[in-house]
């Protein structure tokens, strides 16, 4: 089906929520209530995002989470990498040779890179700031944005 994990999905919802109300600080229970995402999940996800330096946390009774950078400087690619691990869309991207049995005879090796780049590039082209804007011209910042250049 080719989809990202629910963790990343949730993560984007949470971060968007946070970005739309930037400045303030939100606790996990608070975010869970507002997004209707089960609290344990919210908690788990936020913790991961802190470790990846996309959020900063404040402990204690009046604790909570806030964005670590400006919305414009957090991309969807960042979020997905943080929550689902590196964007290794195809199998043979590891730079370590020998990891793939094909290697010697494989005619696509280099092309995997190409595909990975394309996807990564597309995801890097979308920031949290973009996601908070209600998308004025419907779906058409694509051609002008990243990703199109891949094609020529």
Partner DNA sequence: CCAAAACAGGACGGTATTGGTCCTGTTTTG
Partner DNA sequence: CAAAACAGGACCAATACCGTCCTGTTTTGG
List of residues contacting DNA (CB under 7 A): 1, 5-7, 10, 27-29, 38-41, 43-44, 46-47, 50-51, 57-65, 84
Question: Which DSSP symbol is given to 2?
Answer: -
Contact (Cβ atoms closer than 8 angstroms) between residue 75 and residue 82: no
User: Position of tokens 């949730």?
Assistant: 10
Burial of residue 88, with CB atoms counted within 10 A of its CB: 0-12 exposed, 13-18 middle, 19 or more buried: middle
If the CB atoms of residues 2 and 139 are measured against DNA, the closer one turns out to be: 2
**Residue 30 interacts with a copy of itself (CB under 8 A)?**
no
Q: State the CB neighbour count (10 A cutoff) for residue 19.
A: 19
**Residue 13 interacts with a copy of itself (CB under 8 A)?**
yes
**Residue 44 interacts with ligand FES (CB under 6 A)?**
no
Residue of 63, 103, 140, 148 that binds ligand FES (CB under 6 A): 103
CB of 58 to ligand FES, least distance (A): 27
If the CB atoms of residues 83 and 126 are measured against DNA, the closer one turns out to be: 83
**Residue 125 interacts with a copy of itself (CB under 8 A)?**
yes
**Residue 94 interacts with ligand FES (CB under 6 A)?**
no
* Binding site partner of 66, from DNA, a copy of itself, ligand FES, none, Cβ cut-off 5-8 A by kind: none
Residue of 60, 62, 101, 137 that binds a copy of itself (CB under 8 A): 101
**Residue 106 interacts with a copy of itself (CB under 8 A)?**
yes
User: Position of tokens 């330096």?
Assistant: 53
Q: How far apart, in whole angstroms, are the C-alpha atoms of residue 148 and residue 142?
A: 7
Produce one character per residue of 28-66: b if its CB has 16 or more CB atoms within 10 Å, e if not. beebbeeeebeeebbeebbebbeeeebbebeeeeeebbe
**Residue 59 interacts with a copy of itself (CB under 8 A)?**
no
């Amino acid at each position: 089906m080719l989809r990202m994990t629910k963790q990343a999905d949730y993560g984007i919802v949470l971060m968007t929520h946070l970005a739309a109300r930037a400045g303030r600080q939100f606790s996990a229970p608070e975010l869970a209530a507002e997004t209707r995402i089960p609290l344990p999940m919210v908690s788990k996800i936020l913790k991961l995002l802190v470790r990846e330096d996309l959020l900063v946390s404040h402990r204690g009774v009046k604790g909570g989470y806030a964005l670590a950078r400006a919305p414009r400087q957090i991309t969807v690619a960042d979020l997905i990498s943080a929550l689902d691990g590196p964007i290794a869309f195809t199998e043979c991207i590891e730079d370590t040779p020998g990891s793939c049995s094909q290697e010697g005879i494989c005619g696509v090796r280099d092309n995997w890179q190409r595909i990975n780049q394309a996807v990564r590039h597309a995801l890097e082209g979308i920031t949290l700031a973009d996601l908070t804007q209600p998308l004025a011209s419907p779906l058409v910042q694509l051609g002008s944005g990243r990703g199109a250049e891949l094609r020529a």
